[in-house]
A and B are shown apart, each in its own frame.
Chain A
Amino acid sequence: MGSVDTVIRGRAHVYPRAHVNTDEIIPARYLNTHDHVELAKHAMEDIDPDFVKRVQPGDIVVGGEDFGCGSSREHAVWALRKAGISCVIASNFARIFFRNSLNNGFLSIECAGFADKAKSGDDLEVDLAKGVIRNHTQGTEHVFVPLTPFVQEMIAAGGLLPMVAKKRGTVYNPAIVAVKPDVRVSQIAPAK
C-alpha cells in the first residue's frame, strides 16, 4: 500500500526563470471564487497569457528555482490541476506551494536545473517508481529527488484530506459545500 507506481507522460511548458510567483500562476483578481473550473480559465495568465489555449490534459509545467513563491493561496494548485496539468517539475519550490500541492494530491517534483535543459513541447515521462524523468524528445534521463513513502501514500490517496478521512473510516466528499444552517450564535448550544 502507498507506493505510487504511475508513469506520467505529457508535453512540457517550460518557465526557466526563478521565483515564478503565485500571482503569476493565478492573479489575485480572480480570487473571488473557489471554483476550480473558473480558476483554471486564468491559470498562468500573468506569465503566459496563451497558456490555457495551448495546454492539453496531462501536460507538465517545468519551472526554475523557488517556483510558487509569494502568497499562500491554494488556488494556484487548483488552477494548474484543473487546467489539465499533471505535475510540476522545478529546481525547487517555495515552501507553501510545495505543501499545498502535495496536500491536494498534486505532484511537485524537484529536479535541479531541469528547466535549463528542457524545451517547451518536449515529450516528458515521469517514472515515479524509478525516480527518473525521461525526455523522449532529447533522449535524456534525469534523476529527481525521490518522494518519501508518506508523500507517495498521500498522492495515492488523492491528497491529505482523503487520506485523513480514509484513516478515520469516513468518506471525503468535496461536493459538500453548505455546512451550517444560517442561525445566530445565541441559538447554538455549546458542546459538552
Chain B
Amino acid sequence: MPSPQTITEKILAAHSGRDTVRPGEIVNATIDLIVCHEVTTPPAIRMMAQMGVTKVFDPTKIVVTPDHFVPNKDIQTAELTKELRNWVKEQGIARYHELGEHGICHALVPEKGYILPGMTAICGDSHTTTLGAFGAFATGIGSTDVAAALTTGELWFRVPETIRFNVKGRLPHGVYSKDLILHIISKIGVDGARYCAMEYHGSAIAAMSMEARMTITNMAVEAGGKSGIMEADKVTTNYLKARTEEPYTIYRSDADAHYVATHEIDASALEPVVATPSLPSNGRFIGEIGHVVIDQAYIGSCTNARIEDLRIAAKVMKGRRVAQGVRALVVPSTSAVWRQALKEGLFEIFADAGCVISTATCGACLGGHMGVLGKQEVCISSTNRNFVGRMGHPEALVYLASPATVAASAIAGHIVDPREYLERPLRRDKEAGVPVGAIAGGGPGSEQEDYLWGV
C-alpha cells in the first residue's frame, strides 16, 4: 500500500516515475504542457541557442500566444512578438494563436481544451496557477526554466506541502469567487502559502463553474503559493467534453493525505470584498471601505475577464451610465470571449453605458498599455495585483474587486456594494427550470446553467 498522498503529490509522482513522493523532495518531472508568450519566451529562445539546442523537445506539447502587449504597443514589443512568431514557424509549433484568435494565455489555454486533469503545465508567468482548477499541477517559472523545459521536456520541482481549504456553504447573491479568494488571501497573507499547493474542497467550490474556479486558482501566487488545485468533477468533465477528446487521468487526494494546515471557510458568511492599495492581502468587506472616488474602472485580466465575468458586469451596467469623470474599460480575456460577448449583445450594453471596449490583452493589468494610470489616480480593477506601480504610476492607487463591484463602482463613480445594482437574486431551485434572469440558450446541464447556478 503506498502512503496516502494529495493530488499534487500523485501528479508529481506519476510524472517522475515514482509511486510516491514526499513534500520537500526534489523530483524531475516530465512536462505535458508548456505555454509561451512574448515576454518570457524570447529570452528562453536565446538561452536555448546558448546551449547549442536547435529543436524543442516536442512541438505538440507547446502552446503559444502573444498576450502582454498586443496589438504591438511599440517597436520593442513588435520585435519581441516577431521573434516569437519566427520561432513558432521555425519549430513547427501548430498551436500558435495569432491576433484575432489570441488571448491572455491563462484564459486561452483552458478555453481551447489544452489543459487536462492530471497534467503538469508550466509557463514563464506567475499566474499559470490558474490551470490548477482542472486538477492539474500548474506553476509559474523563470525564463531559464522555460529554456530547460523546452529542450528536455522535463523540469525539477520541490514537491510542495499542501494547504487544504474547505469552503462550505454557498456564496450569497452578489458575492463571487473573486470575493472568496480575496478573503482567503486577507486571512493568510501574501506569503501565507509560500512554496505550498493550495487545495480547495467543499460545497461552495463544487457549486462553482470552471470559470469561477479559475479565478481562485489564478490568485494562488498572491499568497505565495506554488500552485492552486481542485479535484476534477462533473463540472470539469462537462467543460472539457465541449472542447477536447483527449484522454486524461483524474487524481484525487487520499482521505488521510497529509496537509500542513487546513482552513475552514463558510462561503455563506461572505460579502463583497475589496483589496485596498497596495497588497492583494488588504481585503476588507465592502462595508468597511468608506467613500473612495475612482478615476478608472478596469474589467480585464486572466483573473476576471471571461464571458461569465462580462455577463455579470453587463447585468450591472444594463440601462445605466458610467459616472461623469470615470473611464470604464472592458478588456475581454480572449478573442473567443470577445466574439461571444458581441453575439450576446453585451458590448451594446457596455457601449451604451459609456465604456471603452478593447481586444484581448494583458494591457493595463501590468501597467503595459491601454489604460495605464497617472500619478495619484484611483482605479478599481478586476485584476489580481495592486502592488505599488503595478498599473502605472507608483503613486496610483489600485483596489481589487469582483467584476460586479468594478462595474457598479463605475456607475456610481465611487466604490460601492454591487448588490444594490443586481436587483433580483437568481432563484436557487434547480427544479424550477431556467433560473430568473437566465440568458437565452442556457438549458439544464449547459455551461450557462453552470454559470447561473454557480454565481
Judge whether A37 is part of the interface by a CB distance below 8 angstroms.
Answer: no
Is residue B183 within 8 Å, beta carbon to beta carbon, of the partner chain?
A: no
In the bound complex, how far is the Cα of B46 from the Cα of A173, in angstroms?
11
Q: Is A1 located at the chain interface by the 8 A CB criterion?
A: no
Contact, CB under 8 Å: B191 / A190: no
Count of residues in A whose CB is under 8 Å from the partner chain: 45
User: Which of B67-75, B82-90, B252-260, B411-419 interfaces with chain A?
Assistant: B82-90
- Name the residue of chain A whose CB is nearest to the CB of B143: A74
B148 and A96 contacting across the interface, CB-CB below 8 Å: no
How far does the alpha carbon of A165 sit from the alpha carbon of B151 in the complex, in Å?
9
Task: Look across to chain A and name the residue whose beta carbon is closest to the beta carbon of B125.
Answer: A72
Chain A residues, CB < 8 A from B156: 150, 154, 160
User: How far, in whole Å, are A168 and B153 apart by their CA atoms in the complex?
Assistant: 13
Known pairs A92-B194, A95-B194, A191-B90; A161 contacts B26 (CB<8 A): no
Stretch at the interface among B50-58, B240-248, B421-429: B50-58
Is B448 in the interface zone, CB < 8 Å from A? no
Which A residues lie within 8 Å of B85 (CB)? Answer: 185
Report chain A residues within 8 Å CB of B82: 185
Q: Is A160 within 8 A of B148, CB to CB?
A: yes
B140 at the interface (CB under 8 A from A): yes
Q: How many Å lie between the Cα of A170 and that of B148 in the bound state?
A: 13
The smallest beta-carbon distance between A102 and chain B, in angstroms, is 8
Is B376 part of the contact surface with A, judged by Cβ < 8 Å? no
B77 at the interface (CB under 8 A from A): no
- Tell me the A24-42 residues at the B interface (CB within 8 Å): 28, 34
Interface stretch among A51-59, A118-126, A176-184?
A176-184
Q: How far is the CA of A96 from the CA of B123 in the complex (A)?
A: 13
Contacts of A72 in B (CB 8 A): 124, 126, 140, 142
| A66 closest partner in B (C-beta) | B191
Closest B residue to A97 by beta carbon equals B142
Q: Does A99 contact B (CB under 8 A)?
A: yes
What size tier do the contact residues of chain B reach?
Answer: 35 or more
C-beta contact mask, A146-188 vs B, less than 8 Å → 1, else 0? 0010110010000111001101101111111101100101001
**Residues on the B chain within 8 Å of A8, using CB:** none
User: A99 CA to B53 CA in the complex, in Å?
Assistant: 22
B224 touches A95 (CB 8 A): yes
Cβ contact within 8 Å between B26 and A151? yes
Residue contact B148 to A173, C-beta cutoff 8 Å: no
A86 CB within 8 Å of chain B? no
Collect the chain B residues with CB atoms within 8 Å of residue A135's CB: none
Is the CB of B437 closer than 8 A to any CB of chain A? no
Q: Which residues of A are interface residues toward B (Cβ below 8 A)?
A: 19, 28, 34, 65-66, 69-70, 72, 74, 92, 94-96, 99-100, 103-104, 148, 150-151, 154, 159-161, 164-165, 167-168, 170-177, 179-180, 183, 185, 188-192
**A19-B190, A170-B51, A172-B52 given; 17 more Cβ-contact pairs under 8 Å:** A19-B191, A66-B224, A69-B224, A72-B140, A94-B224, A95-B195, A103-B142, A104-B144, A150-B28, A161-B147, A164-B51, A164-B151, A173-B50, A174-B50, A175-B50, A176-B49, A191-B90
15 sampled A-B residue pairs with Cβ under 8 A: A19-B190, A69-B224, A72-B142, A95-B195, A99-B145, A150-B156, A159-B144, A165-B53, A170-B52, A171-B52, A173-B52, A176-B46, A176-B49, A188-B89, A191-B89
